[in-house]
Structure 1
């Protein structure tokens, strides 16, 4: 039975009045998608003209400009992210446009992947999580916590391109299903068998499983096994940025937006998920921008790389569109927020950020 929430809030989940009856969340399922290292500058501003015109970063200027450039900012960001701007912005919330006063930051000091995913999923910016080494995470994550609840047991699944996720989520301890990089899916479903073949035979131009195969594995698992919590972790935007391939970085980001549109279409056509599912889209860290050549990199020595963004759409999410008021959100708040959307209070042995609604409580 979901916990009832009595709050006067203005947040991701809507606006409640203190003198009305207690409200109950409508969210029964969560889909979390992360686009590794995708900058807020592209999410809110579209293609960067300086990087687009730099031949060191954009090999195919004509083709890339035809696909993603327009002098009008609102047009070009829709060209790059049509789902985010035509669907999420119209029916949900977008946070992190610093030019409009909305700030989203990581709280960990390291500003790279493992510390970022740890913070996001455990709610704790643990200073001892300071490398990308494949070591089992000692911190309890929110997916593990949800999986321990009776109604969610065995209904949490993770599909990631980067093979560090079984360690980030401590798969042996947490007991959640994590399919990562070249793992064999090993299910009888024929579509999943085909994906086994695809992931074993496909080229790996950025060194990990292509994001489209990670997505297709997660999508077909959703259709076949109906998890309550599905997390899809993309990787290519980070790898292509590190390689200095701005045109391919944009192409990958655009393709991932199309995958978001596809999974949302599937969700909204299935009675188990329709109007009962919250989709959360974000990233693990930012990248350089003040010094343009640092767009490739991130970390505590790169200015701007602690700046991120957040997009949310679902039955408990008040339609606010692009947030243009002064606010400060932190990645450490996401774990408790995910649990709260399901009517749960995430508890663990470590400190954690509060659900995002608390900063709006009157």
Structure 2
């Protein structure tokens, strides 16, 4: 019965899209997250307190040539060159609190599962989503709503470095393929690259039990995108948060830099492929922030208020090229779900979701 109601809602959304799509050029969505990457690094580059600290950097001075400059504007370009060239030029970047441009998560847990639920569903659910345990999400994500629509059914894919993503997306109920944790590419038509990635994932042991290294997540996603041409893609990179928990600022910085390179590869492929070029919006954000002092930056959660502070960015045919947003205001991760549906020319079916980020939609 529940699935019948869900399908009816999705059909109504699809009918709404028929009328609204004329004003929208976005036909595809790439929603990309990176776990626990602070707004401070995004907008100011490597942190002067941490960049050469003996307890946080294994080899003293190892970050300075690549990532340090006294000017924070230059530092951020060194750390995230794609972000501060292409996205700044052609998209929008929110969350520089120096200008009063604030982005927060609205859940009070301030850790990963609640953060991803908020991003993917459009609202916080502190009563039910209050741990990182592997329990199926009772809420319906934007991915699941879309996968129930004829226009998108079977064209929604999800990838993640963290092995909890199949539960966040509720793969069992939604029917969305989720390659996450230490999952492998499966099926009778594996490419040579997928076969090699499967082998390497078996042979290269990362430092964490529940999170694989981001290169596996990225290349599984790229191969599947090239092979299956999905319309809706979610990718959740994970390394920065886990390196931060281990107090490895050097690895945190290098993972952030690599994440930026992955964004460039994704966007270059989008812009070079007829199905995606000028028809795709890419939205980028994080699930939570973290502390600002040496004693607190390794953590997040309700005991660290700064962990509510995040950032987000968007680039695509319906997002005006306004660069770094400097107007004062407060935005929330919970606003992304309804905004994504508006970009696709539809209204989000869950009334609990946050409002549209109007400036992100032309």
**TM-score normalised by L of structure 2:** 0.91
Paired residues of 1:39 and 1:308 also in contact (CA < 8 A): yes
Cα displacement (A) at 1:206: 3.2
Paired residues of 1:44 and 1:77 also in contact (CA < 8 A): yes
Paired residues of 2:113 and 2:131 also in contact (CA < 8 A): yes
Three-state SS of the structure 1 residue aligned to 2:310 is coil
Cα displacement (A) at 1:62: 1.7
Where does 1:106-121 land on structure 2 (aligned, <5 Å)?
106-121=105-120
CA distance in 1: counterparts of 2:286 and 2:41, whole angstroms = 12
The residue number in structure 2 matching 1:309 is: 311
CA distance in 2: counterparts of 1:157 and 1:342, whole angstroms = 17
The residue number in structure 2 matching 1:253 is: 256
Cα displacement (A) at 1:346: 1.8
CA distance in 2: counterparts of 1:77 and 1:285, whole angstroms = 19
Is the deviation greater in 38-47 or in 62-71? Answer: 62-71
CA distance in 1: counterparts of 2:246 and 2:56, whole angstroms = 9
Paired residues of 1:32 and 1:232 also in contact (CA < 8 A): yes
Paired residues of 2:319 and 2:361 also in contact (CA < 8 A): no
Cα displacement (A) at 1:23: 5.9
The residue number in structure 2 matching 1:352 is: 353
The residue number in structure 1 matching 2:167 is: 167
CA distance in 1: counterparts of 2:66 and 2:196, whole angstroms = 31
The residue number in structure 2 matching 1:318 is: 320
CA distance in 2: counterparts of 1:352 and 1:262, whole angstroms = 31
CA distance in 1: counterparts of 2:92 and 2:184, whole angstroms = 36
The residue number in structure 1 matching 2:149 is: 149
Cα displacement (A) at 1:93: 0.3
Cα displacement (A) at 1:61: 3.1
Three-state SS of the structure 1 residue aligned to 2:283 is strand
Cα displacement (A) at 1:360: 10
Gaps of 5+ in 1: 6-21
Cα displacement (A) at 1:3: 4.5
Paired residues of 1:243 and 1:296 also in contact (CA < 8 A): yes
The residue number in structure 2 matching 1:330 is: 332
Cα displacement (A) at 1:359: 10
CA distance in 2: counterparts of 1:191 and 1:358, whole angstroms = 40
The residue number in structure 2 matching 1:16 is: none
1:282 to 2:285 alignment:
yes
Cα displacement (A) at 1:224: 0.7
Go from structure 1 to structure 2 and tell me whether the alpha carbon gap of 1:262 and 1:74 turns closer, same or farther (over 3 Å shift).
same
The residue number in structure 1 matching 2:176 is: 176
Go from structure 1 to structure 2 and tell me whether the alpha carbon gap of 1:353 and 1:327 turns closer, same or farther (over 3 Å shift).
same
Q: 1:288-329: CA deviations, max 9, x gaps?
A: 11x342111101110210000001100001011001110110
CA distance in 2: counterparts of 1:229 and 1:329, whole angstroms = 23
Gaps of 5+ in 2: 1-14
The residue number in structure 2 matching 1:294 is: 296
Cα displacement (A) at 1:33: 1.0
The residue number in structure 2 matching 1:63 is: 62
Runs of 4+ residues deviating >4 angstroms? 358-361
The residue number in structure 2 matching 1:17 is: none
**TM-score normalised by L of structure 1:** 0.91
Where does 1:1-362 land on structure 2 (aligned, <5 Å)?
2-5=17-20, 24-128=23-127, 129-187=129-187, 188=189, 189-207=191-209, 208-289=211-292, 291-348=293-350, 351-357=352-358
Paired residues of 1:30 and 1:230 also in contact (CA < 8 A): yes
Cα displacement (A) at 1:358: 8.3
The residue number in structure 2 matching 1:18 is: none
Q: 1:193-217: CA deviations, max 9, x gaps?
A: 2221122222112332110110000
The residue number in structure 1 matching 2:9 is: none
Q: 1:229-286: CA deviations, max 9, x gaps?
A: 1111011100000000001100000011001101111111100001111111110000
Name the count of aligned residue pairs: 343
